[in-house]
Every structure is written in C-alpha cells, then in structure tokens.
Structure 1
Amino acid sequence: MRKSHPVRRAVLAGAATVSGIVLLLSLKPASDPGAASAAGGAPPAAAQSPQGGRGAGSGTVTGDAAATQYGPVQVRLTVSGGKITGAEAVRAPKGGQSDRVTADAVPKLNRAAVAAGTADIDAVSGATYTSAGYVKSLQSALDKVAAASAGQDSGEGAGQGAGGGSEQGAGDGGEGQAGAGQGTQVLTGDVARTQYGAVQVRVTVRGGKITGAETLQAPRGGQSDRVTADAVPKLNRAAVAAGTSDIDAVSGATYTSAGYKQSLQSALDRAGG
C-alpha cells in the first residue's frame, strides 16, 4: 500500500495540470479586442442624417405648438422644392379618449396637409379641437418656410446688385419693387369685431391674384369652436376662388362670415396701396 502512494500522487498531479490548462483556455476573451474597439467607434454613416433646409424651399420645419382644450398640437413638415412632401404631428392630445381621437384624426390631417399644400384643410369629424390646433401649427410652419424662402430670395437679389456699400439699399429696393410689381405680397387685413369675437384675415397675392387665404383670428369658445372649424376653411377657399371679398356667407356662421369679408376687403385694399 505504501508503494501505491507515489503513483496516486502522479495521477492526481497530472489531472490537476490538465484542469489548469482547461481553465486558462476558458479565460480567453470571447471577442476580438479589435471588434470591441470598432463597436465603440463612430456611428455608421446611415445614422448621420444630412442637415436639411439649406436649399431653396427644402428641408424640415416645425410649427409653433398650438394649445387646445385637450392638449397642445404641433406639426412638423418636410418641404422639397417649396412643396409639402411630408407632414407629422409631433405633439397631439393624449390620454383617455384623446388617444382614440388622435389616432384617427392625425393621419387624416397629415394626408390632407400634403395633398392641399396649404393650411386650408377641412377639420376631421369628431376631432374639432385637434383639427383647429393642427391647422394653426401647420400655418405657422408654412409661415416659417415662406419667411426663409423670402430671406434667401432677398439675399440673392442683394448679391446680384452693384455690391459694396449699395448692397443693402439694393436689397431693400428690390423687396419694395416685388411688392408693387409681379411679386408676391402677404397682406393682413384689419381686425373685424363681431358679436362672437374678432375675425382677421391674411391673404397671399401673386400677380394680382389671391393664391392663399388664412384666418388669423376667429370666434372661439363653446359652440363658436364648432362654427369656426366648419366655416373658416370654406371662407378661405371661397376667397381664393373668387379673388375678391364678394363671397357668400357660410350657412350658420353669419357673423363670422361678415367679419371675414370685412377683414378680407381691408387686406385687398392694401394690395393697391
């Protein structure tokens, strides 16, 4: 029995050595250090979206948030070549029944904005407040697009002038000439007071014709919200179609229609001034 101990020790020692080798091999890193370094490097090019909005009438623009009875609405547009190619509501009423209303109304409003190319879109049935807020934010986004485009056009006009110290003067003169000639004018009418609230209209005139109309102020609160949401888009379309303030009143919105026509006429009076 005493002679068997060295053999047993040798066997045990060999087994321990093998176990140690296996353990060392198991501690080898599972991933290549080079791969780990690459994973922590710069993000792929696809994640780096190009910055838009530097071309003529192209890029993305976000309108102001419009407060409604059920929560704010805010619209973001994608514009290419001066035309709306995409619209989305980055904010809309949420919680309770608003979730259902928003899910139904917002996609319709987005499609309508792209199809119309303006804020002159109809309210979605059952989503009067959301529709009104959407239109308001949409219009503010379009105003920003127009302002950016006008600024770029003004800069190009100044660059084509005599240069030097007369550059600013040439730019100012060019802008005034555009208003008096064949350029585009944005004209805001006087505020017309009605029994249910103020009405104010702004029109876009190009080449002596009304190409766009919007309502900056209209009666709000209670039943007036419903009346305004129904009447204002119709009045805006009528103004563009007629090219004058000689438009029919919307049924059920007599006071709003009268105020609209009064403010519209005052805006058109400025076109000849």
Structure 2
Amino acid sequence: MAEIGSHDVVVEVKDTNSTPEIKEEAGSSFSLPFFQKLIAEMLGTYFLIFAGCGSVVVNKNEKVVTLPGIAIVWGLVVMVLVYCVGHISGAHFNPAVTIAFAVTRRFPLKQVPAYVLAQQLGSTLAAGTLRLLFSGGHDQFAGTQPSGSDLQSFVIEFITTFYLMFVICGVATDSRAIGELAGLAVGATILLNVMFTGPITGGSMNPARSLGPAIVSNHYKGIWIYLLAPTMGAISGAAVYNIIRFTNKPLREVVRSGSY
C-alpha cells in the first residue's frame, strides 16, 4: 500500500494584474523582504510536512489516525498555513506550484530556485525531525511510493495536481473570487485528493513532500513520478485556468460595464 499524505500546498496572494508585480519584485531578489519570504516558505513547508507526515507515521504505529484522519490533517494544516503566511510569501510550500506560477508569468522566474530550495530544505528538516522522534522500533518511512503500476500513479498524481492548481488559480489569483476563502478551498481540495488517492499513490501532489522523506530515509522507489507528474500537472492546471480566465478586471467592473 502506498504511503499516505500529501501536501501541498500552496497559494499565491490574490492579484490578477500580476505583470507589474513581477517586474517590481524581479529587481529585489536579494532584498530583506525576499529573504523573509524564503523563511516563511521554509517554515511553512516544515510545519506542513511535520504535521502531515507525522500523521502518517503515528497511524502506522498506533493505527488510530486512519485514512480520513490523515486527509483531514493535510487539509487543515494547509488551510492554517495559507492564512498564516499567505500574505508574506504566497504560501506555495510546493515546488510544482512555484514553477507553475513562474511559467504562467505570475511569479518572477529568477526567484524560483531560491523558493524551491527553501521548500525542499523545510521538507527535509521536517522529515529528519520525524525520523529522530520515531526511531528504533517506531522507525517508519513517511514518504510516498506507488502501490500499483508506475503509469497508474503518474496519471493520478498528474490529474490531482492539475485539479489542485486549477483551484489555486481560481481562488487565489482571480480578483472575482472570494479571496478570504482561498485557504479553505485549497485545504478542502487537498483533503479530498488525499482521501481517495492516499492508498494508491500516497496523495503527494508536491515534489518536496515526497523528496524530503526520500532523502532522509534513502528510499527513492518511484521518486521520479512524484517529481515529474505534479510539476507537469500544476503547469497544465495553471495554463488551462488562464485560458478560461477571460479577463483580469475585478468583478465589480465586469458587472458595471457588462463586458469582459
């Protein structure tokens, strides 16, 4: 059976007119505000993996969390962290999300390597903490691995990450959506995805979520699936939402003018 847990997550601060923002931030890659964003991404990813993967490990040892409980933990921790640091770093916590935003020109491309490194560092540190806390007879692999074929897992990870990124773009980058509900919508999406894909792929949707525990446990079975499929799925999800976005105008302007 696959190791359950995903995580995602996730969210870019709502702003449909992103091009000026990218130009403004591109020149401040080494500024104090940018380092604050990196710290927020690292800590956010750490807490995400510590809680999510921690629920997986505890369930293996005690059998009390159950699959629904694990899914709820992943969804809740993402929701809480989005509201906590979404206004600071965008609360990506996921290299696939960061790359997808950059490809669709909603995040500075030159800042991607630093964001991804911060996310991966947070994930690895969290996995290492869990390894230290649950050592000896409680030592359990907190990563993800396919329980079926590689193709099956690849397709599932692609579709679920596509769906996740599609939701993120809808609630967090479109000014016509209700921005205050972004954390709730993204957390609920992750909860749903983990609920039914956990037993098959582990419900990763996040390269850092899978790679961190893999590095700590030196367990790389099927790791290419969890690096490639979520990244491709996120890019595709963001691109498709941009196709149906129609306009960057706020809803009040659309309603007032009656046109897009």
TM-score, scaled relative to structure 1: 0.25
Specify the structure having the higher radius of gyration (Cα): 1
Normalized per residue, the structure richer in strand is 1
Normalized per residue, the structure richer in helix is 2
TM-score, scaled relative to structure 2: 0.26
